[in-house]
Structures are given as C-alpha cells and as structure tokens.
Amino acid sequence: MSNQRHENHATHPDHGTPARPLRIAAAALFLSLAFLANAWGEPTELQIFHPPETHHLRNAPPVQEKDLWFEDLSRKPYSECWYYLFAARDGTLFFCHINLVKINFFVKQYALDFNLYLPDGTRHFFADSFEKKDVEWATDRFSVKLGPNRISGSLDRQQLHIEELGYTLDLAFTQRVAPLRDGSGRIYLDPDRKDYLDITYQPDLKVKGTLKENDRVVPLEGWGYSDHVRQTFIPTEFAKVLYAYRAKVGEIFLTALEYHPEPKYRPDRVPSLIVTYRDRLLNVSHDYTLQVTGTHSDEKRSTEVPEDFILKDRADNFELECTAEGDLLKRVDLLASVSSFQKKVLELFGIHSFSYIFEEKTRCRIQSPEVSGTFQGTGILEVLVSD
C-alpha cells in the first residue's frame, strides 16, 4: 500500500471533498506554464477524428485488444486513464478512475479514485496516489495494478478488483455491445499530428460481482460502461470545460462527452454521443444539441455550472430528446493535492480546476426502427472546469 495516503474517507454531497487524480494536471501546469505564451496566437484548427455532420460510424477501424493496454510511451507528458461505471440492480452505484501519468522525468503519478454509493444511503469517496514500487502494468496484455487494486482481462471480459475503505469489490465487465473507437479514435491538437487524445469506448457492459465488508458478502449484478483515454498533452491545456454524461434509462444507454477547448483551438466545441439499446448500437452523433435549462451556483467561485439540460439529436430514422434534472453529489478541487506553494503559484496565474458531479434524473423520448417510446432512469454528469 502507498505511503502517500492523503485522502481516504467517506463524504457526503454537502461536505468538502478531496481531488481526483486528474488534479495532476495542476502540477503539470506548474511545471509547464510555457504553453500560456501560445494562448494569444492565431487559433489552431483541431484535426478532429470525425466530420461534424457524421451521425454514424463509417470506416472506423475495429477495436483491438491492445487498445486497452498501457502504451508506456517514452514521450512526456503522457497519461492514460481507465474509467469504469457500474449501476447495480439493488441500487449500488460505483465509478472509478485509474490514472497512470508521466509529466516529465521528475513528475509522475499513479492514482486511483472511486465513488461508492450504497442502497442504504452510505456514500464513500476514495482517492490515493501510489508509489512506483506499488504499481505494476503490462504493455503486452491488459493488466494494471495499484497497491491491492487491479484491472485485468481481455477485450471481451475485464475484471476489476478494489480493496479499500474496508470493502473488497470484485466486478466482471462483459461486452453487450461491440467496443468503439470513434473514427480513428483520436483528436489531434497540431497539424503534424504529434499530440492527440485517443478514446476507446465500451458503451454497454453486463456486470456481475460481489461486494464484501468484513464477513458479509453481497452479490451484485447490473450494467456498466467503460472507456480508456490516452493523452499526449496536459489535459487542462486543451479543454477549459468537459461535460461527461452517462445515463441508463430503461434498456437505453447513452454517453455524451463534450469538450470545450481553450480559445487557441477551433472549433470551440467537440461533442460525441453514443446511444445503445440492449445489445445493439443505435446511433453515434457529433452534432447533437445541448440546451442548459438550469445551473448550479458555486458561491465560493462565483461560478454557474450546468446542472439541468435538454439533449436532442436527429439522424436518418432516429430522433432522441432527453431531459435531465441534476442534484450535486460533490464538488472537487482538482488542485487540492498539490503543495500549498504550487497552488499559490497556479492561482497567481489564474489557474483553477474543479469537478462537479451531479446525479441526473433523466427522461428520454426516442424514435427509431429498433425502439420507440419514453424511458426514465438515472445518469451521472461530471463537469470539469479549468481556468
């Protein structure tokens, strides 16, 4: 187990919460402030992996086993993140991030954070960084280990083992819908295509497992989602705002990722929407609309954050409209774990990073040849804001 344990406790929506591993972007910015000099130049056109009008996957390469593996590139900065979301039929909700990050020769971080919500209302948040001696990964198979926690397996089936806060969680994620790499799977940040964001989606997964506390073992079953992100740049250097919305409504699952890049990039919005029904892919879109209908006021920062919204999309023989109303689960200061000196320097440059996580009551109306009707369910919206 790591000797750097700094955050390990239960939290509630109205309590202060620790930062998740994406906070390392802050330390990266501290060591890489040179990028600010480019912010006032001519906007750079992003080499996006899909044309904005494309609704469906066309000519996308098949996903391979290695698309889940750690690449272990020698270049820096470089980071990989594996995200898993699980909603059990008994009301248990779990989602986690596993991060391997290399900023430069001196700055590296290997981190895990997760949220565990139990049916009785108990809520736990965990975040920790691990020393290199406690971390293992493979570049020829899917295997990552941080302390007692690990993910492993194949493209068809992955095993997640979490052993923290007095709980042992074992989950097996099995594909229901084939994984996706949207187009080429990458957004390029420069004309030479050296810096990129690379995403592999597993949009709909069947999940079975157990949750153990002391001698009590609870069987779990439900649905899940996962993605694997590779980045060859500092995250906050690219996107000022990120919306990540995932919802299960009846037998419909959808995920919407929406980046709002720094002003030095064009276009100023990069959206991607995936919709599945049972074991089939219904639609992939890159020009859906998102209308904010309500905001959360962060009085500490005098900031308004989207909380309620209407998401709409249309394609050939497909129409979707989702209305979502959110309740704040937590507000996370992504710079909370850096040193006080580093934080003061970052804030002197006007750099702040926060994550707002909402539980979204969702109602979706859908029309398509495969399924039509109105469905209700729950989603998770995460809004990351950097300035």
pLDDT digit string, tens, across residues 274-292: 999 988 888 888 889 999 9
Domain contains 241: yes
**Tally of domains in the chain:** 1
Phi, psi torsion values for 313, nearest 5 degrees: -150, 145
Q: Half-sphere exposure of 75 toward its Cβ, with a 13 Å CA cutoff?
A: 12
Domain contains 2: no
DSSP three-state, residue 29: helix
Count of beta carbons in the 10 Å neighbourhood of residue 263: 11
The mean per-residue pLDDT over the stretch 351-362 comes to: 86
Q: Specify the pLDDT at position 57.
A: 52
Lowest-pLDDT range, 24-38, 87-101, 354-368? 24-38
Res. 118 pLDDT band, cuts 50 70 90:
very high
Res. 343 pLDDT band, cuts 50 70 90:
low
Question: CA–CA distance from 339 to each of 26, 136, 345, 355 (Å)?
Answer: 10, 26, 10, 19
Quick check: 342 pLDDT over 80? no
The answer to whether 384 and 353 are in contact (CB under 8 A) is: yes
Domain contains 163: yes
DSSP three-state, residue 33: helix
Please state, in angstroms and rounded to a whole number, the distance separating the CA atoms of residues 66 and 348. 42
Quick check: 80 pLDDT over 70? yes
Q: Specify the pLDDT at position 299.
A: 82
Higher pLDDT, 158 or 177: 158
The share of the chain scoring above pLDDT 90, in percent, equals 44
Lowest-pLDDT range, 47-56, 175-184, 251-260? 47-56
Please state, in angstroms and rounded to a whole number, the distance separating the CA atoms of residues 107 and 3. 17
The answer to whether 77 and 32 are in contact (CB under 8 A) is: yes
DSSP string, 177-193: S--B--TTSEEESSTT-
**All residues at 6 or more sequence positions from 43 whose CB lies less than 8 Å from its CB, including other chains:** 263, 264, 265, 266
CATH value at residue 70: 2.40.370.10
DSSP three-state, residue 201: strand
> What proportions of the chain, in percent to the nearest 5, are helix, strand and coil?
10, 55, 35
Q: Tens digits of per-residue pLDDT, 8-63?
A: 333 333 333 333 344 444 334 333 333 333 334 567 777 766 655 554 454 556 78
Domain contains 106: yes
**Rounded to two decimals, what is the model's pTM?**
0.81
Higher pLDDT, 302 or 159: 159
Question: CA–CA distance from 73 to each of 33, 80, 150, 260, 261 (Å)?
Answer: 22, 10, 21, 27, 24
Please state, in angstroms and rounded to a whole number, the distance separating the CA atoms of residues 218 and 213. 9
Phi, psi torsion values for 229, nearest 5 degrees: -120, 130
Domain that holds residue 270: 7-386
Domain contains 1: no
Domain contains 13: yes
N-terminal to C-terminal alpha carbon distance within the chain: 34
Of these ranges, 62-76, 117-131, 148-162, 254-268, the one predicted with the greatest mean pLDDT is 148-162
Lowest-pLDDT range, 85-89, 100-104, 309-313, 380-384? 100-104
Count of beta carbons in the 10 Å neighbourhood of residue 14: 8
